[in-house]
Amino acid sequence: MQNPSFTPENPTTKSRIESRPNPHDRLNLSRVEFHNRYTRQIEQESIYGEGFLRWTYGNPLGRLSLHALVKRAIFSRVYGWLMDQPSSQKRVRPFIDRFQLKESEFLDPVINFKSFNEFFFRKLKPSARPIHADETVVTFPADGRHLAFQDFSCCPGIFAKGQVFTLAELIQSENLAQTYARGALVISRLCPVDYHRFHFPTAGKASAPQLIQGPLQSVNPIALAQNIRILSTNRRCLTELSTPNLGKLLMIEVGATCVGGFVYTFKPNSTVSKGDEKGYFRFGGSLTMTLFEPGRVQLDADLLENTHRGLETYAIMGDRLGQAAPR
């Protein structure tokens, strides 16, 4: 299903897993797993700040600190400010080495990054993320681990069986929720080690982003398995894209702990091409969602199968997530 012209290295793998338990039980264990589209293996995620994350969401004192401080915007603003300071530059090389990032993909040399945040939202060479050329193909808006639902109204659960959220709660509009209620949904979760710029998955006219305020909790599965409503209550932005082949689709950027804001680099209410940059996240893990009108897109089979098994699929921006459905 992937773009055959490109096979990237996976930057977040600790080891390959040959066997695994019931998918709905996996997030209760000590590891977070995903399916790598390119190696075709189930792999274990290497989690930045894993100890703090597990303490925050798995310990009573940690949960108390979450509600008292961590999910509040001031925590992420202060942390983001620290990552903007020149002293944070010393974190860059150890981070690259620990997570084995591919420096040859970077547009700028590492020495040019004056802070950790500059490194975090780095640009890549165009050759590092080729855009699928077929006009009928829809591409991933961001690098990450993806879940896919052909009809979200039939979703049995996200990250944990029986856990769902309502579209009305997510997008704060009953009318808009009805438009997309039986449509396809792709959730793309970015880790701190990922390329953190996000792009348009197809051509069209993009509206101005609409901000919905909320807290900033982690979007790692460790946290989401505890409370999936994080996705529908965190600070988020909505952009509607009117397209020639897919009708309208909704792009949603969701903030997370230590993500102080979204920075948009496109011109609102303008026509964009597939693969054009939309913006970037500042420091921290984060997440995007792409909602399609019913019957407009056929999501790729490997995404749907892995999601059914309780697994995210690792794939990169520009690779295909599906194709426009025949009309």
Please list the active-site residues.
143, 199, 286
Measure the CA–CA gap between 19 and 3, rounded to whole angstroms: 27
Measure the CA–CA gap between 179 and 198, rounded to whole angstroms: 24
Going by C-alpha positions, the residue among 69, 47, 65 that lies closest to residue 57 is: 65
At 304, which amino acid appears? L
Based on its alpha-carbon atoms, the radius of gyration of the chain, rounded to whole angstroms, reads 19
Measure the CA–CA gap between 167 and 226, rounded to whole angstroms: 19
For residues 196 and 120, the answer to whether their CB atoms sit within 8 Å is: yes
CA distances from 244 to 202, 296, 302 (A): 9, 11, 26
> For the chain, where are the alpha helices, taking DSSP H only?
50-58, 60-65, 73-84, 92-99, 116-120, 167-171, 174-180, 221-224, 230-233, 301-308
Measure the CA–CA gap between 259 and 254, rounded to whole angstroms: 9
For residues 315 and 140, the answer to whether their CB atoms sit within 8 Å is: yes
> What does DSSP say about strands 33-36 and 312-315: parallel, antiparallel, or unpaired?
parallel
